[in-house]
Amino acid sequence: MSLTVYFREPHVDPDYPPQYEAQAQPGDVLMRVGLSLGLDNLAADCGGNLTCATCHVIVDPVWASRLPPMSEDEDGMLDYAAAERQPTSRLSCQITLTPELDGLVVDLPPTQY
Ligand code: FES
Protein backbone atom coordinates (compact mmCIF):
# COMPACT_ATOMS: atom_id res chain seq x y z
CA MET A 1 0.00 0.00 0.00
CA SER A 2 1.42 3.37 -0.91
CA LEU A 3 0.53 6.65 0.73
CA THR A 4 0.68 10.25 -0.35
CA VAL A 5 2.37 13.10 1.49
CA TYR A 6 2.32 16.78 0.60
CA PHE A 7 4.83 19.60 1.04
CA ARG A 8 4.03 23.30 0.89
CA GLU A 9 6.49 26.17 0.47
CA PRO A 10 6.69 28.93 3.08
CA HIS A 11 5.32 31.80 1.03
CA VAL A 12 2.11 30.00 0.20
CA ASP A 13 -1.17 30.79 1.93
CA PRO A 14 -2.05 27.85 4.22
CA ASP A 15 -5.43 27.67 2.54
CA TYR A 16 -3.79 27.11 -0.82
CA PRO A 17 -3.25 23.50 -1.94
CA PRO A 18 0.26 22.10 -1.32
CA GLN A 19 2.55 22.26 -4.36
CA TYR A 20 4.49 19.05 -3.97
CA GLU A 21 3.03 15.57 -3.78
CA ALA A 22 5.02 12.40 -3.21
CA GLN A 23 4.17 8.73 -3.07
CA ALA A 24 5.72 6.82 -0.19
CA GLN A 25 5.59 3.45 1.51
CA PRO A 26 4.85 2.71 5.16
CA GLY A 27 8.22 2.72 6.91
CA ASP A 28 9.65 5.47 4.72
CA VAL A 29 11.11 8.45 6.56
CA LEU A 30 9.48 11.78 5.72
CA MET A 31 12.86 13.50 5.32
CA ARG A 32 13.92 11.00 2.64
CA VAL A 33 10.65 11.47 0.79
CA GLY A 34 11.15 15.24 0.82
CA LEU A 35 14.74 14.93 -0.39
CA SER A 36 13.60 12.76 -3.29
CA LEU A 37 11.56 15.73 -4.50
CA GLY A 38 14.61 18.02 -4.49
CA LEU A 39 12.89 20.61 -2.35
CA ASP A 40 14.86 23.86 -1.94
CA ASN A 41 13.86 24.40 1.68
CA LEU A 42 14.85 20.99 2.99
CA ALA A 43 18.50 20.17 3.66
CA ALA A 44 18.94 17.27 6.11
CA ASP A 45 22.68 17.80 6.38
CA CYS A 46 23.33 15.13 8.99
CA GLY A 47 21.49 12.46 7.05
CA GLY A 48 18.97 11.76 9.77
CA ASN A 49 21.31 11.48 12.75
CA LEU A 50 19.46 14.15 14.75
CA THR A 51 22.43 16.50 14.87
CA CYS A 52 21.57 19.30 12.44
CA ALA A 53 17.91 20.45 12.55
CA THR A 54 18.04 21.29 8.82
CA CYS A 55 15.21 18.88 8.13
CA HIS A 56 12.79 21.13 10.01
CA VAL A 57 9.16 21.04 8.83
CA ILE A 58 6.00 22.55 10.24
CA VAL A 59 3.24 20.00 10.32
CA ASP A 60 -0.21 21.16 9.26
CA PRO A 61 -2.19 21.53 12.51
CA VAL A 62 -4.80 19.08 11.25
CA TRP A 63 -2.10 16.39 11.19
CA ALA A 64 0.06 17.35 14.13
CA SER A 65 -1.83 15.37 16.75
CA ARG A 66 -1.78 12.22 14.59
CA LEU A 67 2.01 12.01 14.67
CA PRO A 68 3.77 10.03 17.38
CA PRO A 69 5.08 12.33 20.12
CA MET A 70 8.60 13.63 19.67
CA SER A 71 11.51 12.32 21.67
CA GLU A 72 13.44 14.50 24.11
CA ASP A 73 16.34 14.52 21.67
CA GLU A 74 14.16 15.77 18.81
CA ASP A 75 12.65 18.39 21.10
CA GLY A 76 16.09 19.62 22.10
CA MET A 77 17.45 19.70 18.56
CA LEU A 78 14.45 21.66 17.29
CA ASP A 79 15.64 24.58 19.42
CA TYR A 80 18.57 24.86 17.01
CA ALA A 81 16.40 25.15 13.91
CA ALA A 82 17.28 28.26 11.89
CA ALA A 83 13.67 29.28 11.31
CA GLU A 84 11.55 30.18 14.29
CA ARG A 85 10.15 27.10 15.94
CA GLN A 86 6.37 26.74 15.62
CA PRO A 87 3.95 24.80 17.86
CA THR A 88 3.76 22.02 15.26
CA SER A 89 7.44 22.03 14.24
CA ARG A 90 9.06 18.64 13.81
CA LEU A 91 12.25 17.20 12.40
CA SER A 92 11.29 15.25 9.32
CA CYS A 93 14.06 12.69 9.83
CA GLN A 94 12.22 11.56 12.95
CA ILE A 95 8.88 10.93 11.25
CA THR A 96 8.41 7.41 9.99
CA LEU A 97 5.37 7.15 7.76
CA THR A 98 2.54 4.78 8.59
CA PRO A 99 -0.72 4.08 6.73
CA GLU A 100 -2.45 6.43 9.19
CA LEU A 101 -0.35 9.30 7.81
CA ASP A 102 -1.70 8.95 4.27
CA GLY A 103 -2.45 12.54 3.21
CA LEU A 104 0.02 14.18 5.61
CA VAL A 105 0.68 17.86 4.84
CA VAL A 106 3.78 19.70 6.03
CA ASP A 107 5.04 23.22 5.44
CA LEU A 108 8.66 23.97 4.74
CA PRO A 109 10.23 26.71 6.86
CA PRO A 110 11.58 29.89 5.22
CA THR A 111 15.15 28.77 5.78
CA GLN A 112 17.19 25.88 7.16
CA TYR A 113 20.34 27.99 7.82
FE1 FES B 1 19.74 16.25 10.66
FE2 FES B 1 17.14 15.58 10.75
S3 FES B 1 18.51 15.36 9.10
S4 FES B 1 18.37 16.39 12.33
pLDDT value, residue 17 = 74
The pTM score is 0.94
pLDDT value, residue 94 = 98
Report CA(39)–ligand 1 centroid distance (Å). Answer: 15
pLDDT value, residue 1 = 83
- Integer Cα distance of 110 and 42 in angstroms: 10
Q: Among the atoms of ligand 1, which is closest to the Cα of residue 48?
A: 3
* DSSP helix/strand/coil, 61: helix
User: With a 6 A CB cut-off, is 108 part of the ligand 1 pocket?
Assistant: no
**Which secondary-structure segment (H or E) carries 106?**
strand 105-107
User: With a 6 A CB cut-off, is 44 part of the ligand 1 pocket?
Assistant: yes
User: What is the chain's pLDDT, residue by residue, as a tens digit (113 residues)?
Assistant: 899 999 998 777 767 777 899 999 999 999 999 999 998 899 999 999 999 999 999 999 999 999 999 999 999 999 999 999 999 999 999 999 999 999 999 999 999 99
Report CA(49)–ligand 1 centroid distance (Å). Answer: 6
Q: Concatenated DSSP letters for 62-82? A: HHHTTSPPPPHHHHHHHTT-S
Q: Among the atoms of ligand 1, which is closest to the Cα of residue 54?
A: 1
Q: Among the atoms of ligand 1, which is closest to the Cα of residue 53?
A: 4
